[in-house]
Amino acid sequence: MEIIDTFAEARSLNRGTVGFAPTLGFVHEGHLSLIERARRETDHVLVSLFVNPLQFGEGEDFAAYPRQLDRDARLIESAGADVLFAPAAEEMYPVEPATTVDVAPLAAHLDGVARPTHFAGVATVVAKYFAGLRPDQAYFGRKDAQQLAIITRMAADLSMPVDVIGCPTIREHDGLALSSRNVYLQERERDQALSLSQGLMAAADRVDAGERSGPALELIVRETVPTFEFEYVAVMNRATVTPLAVLDRPAFLAVAGRVGKARLVDNIHFDFQNGEVSVDRGVRLTGPSLLYEQ
């Protein structure tokens, strides 16, 4: 695997179809699953590692976000990447950008309320990746459902020649959705954090049993863990990220809440085929995540 730090170098190394997986670093099995899928489906696998300042708001953990290039490079290479693009801030933003990308209608709810500048920062950096790296296929986790919807819509609206592919959420062995921020959780906080996935799985079971009411599913989540203070619980149309009263099209049920100093998000996706709904609960690890390896 080659490690490079400029867009020009990345383009010069591309061969055949290019699969791309963007990361902020502090790699875990969720990131590795994207790389492994890209390895199976494309000729040349490119991974980015950049902690993007535009997507962190005031008071968020930009300065504290874990940065371990040697560790991450080793794991990214083991998953099958050909190239790691690890640019300096000066390569990504040689001057303060006068142009940004904001898919405002899809950011009007959920995390767009709690983090009003976040998605414009995400969309802008991903647009730069798509323009500067020119991937054919880009892989994103379904765990960040609103982000995936925004990137998919951005690529379509701007006629970007890239297929945006959503991949299943990877969960820890106890069901907690994998996130680099899970390392912030104290031992006593972990049971509280599991409230998010426990509520979602209870709702998933009710969908399997025939429930199709959006408000009813939201209530099931809240009643499953009544002691947890959810920031939001919402069934959303996957294409528009707007509330959905009846589960009759592709959608997701999203939850968020703060546990200690970690703000956690999670969701399950509802897929439709021939009018039948199936629930994507994600994929569980069978043992502890490599996040906790020293």
Residue by residue, DSSP assigns 181-215 as GGGG--HHHHHHHHHHHHHHHHHHHHHHTT--BHH
For tokens 């050909």, name the residue: 82
Dihedral-angle region of residue 221 (phi above 0 means left; psi in -120 to 50 means alpha; beta otherwise): alpha
- Whether 31 is a known active-site residue: answer yes
User: In whole angstroms, how far apart are CA 24 and each of 19, 91, 191, 202, 235?
Assistant: 17, 16, 26, 31, 27
Angle between helices 214-224 and 187-208 (to 10 degrees): 150
Using an 8 Å Cβ cutoff, are 262 and 249 in contact? no
Using an 8 Å Cβ cutoff, are 266 and 170 in contact? no
Catalytic residue among 31, 44, 118, 269: 31
Specify the pairing of strand 276-280 against strand 163-167.
Answer: unpaired
Residue 122 exposed, middle or buried by CB count within 10 Å (0-12, 13-18, 19+): buried
Residue 198: φ, ψ to 5°: -65, -45
CA distance linking residue 214 with residue 212, whole number of Å: 6
Tell me the catalytic residues.
31
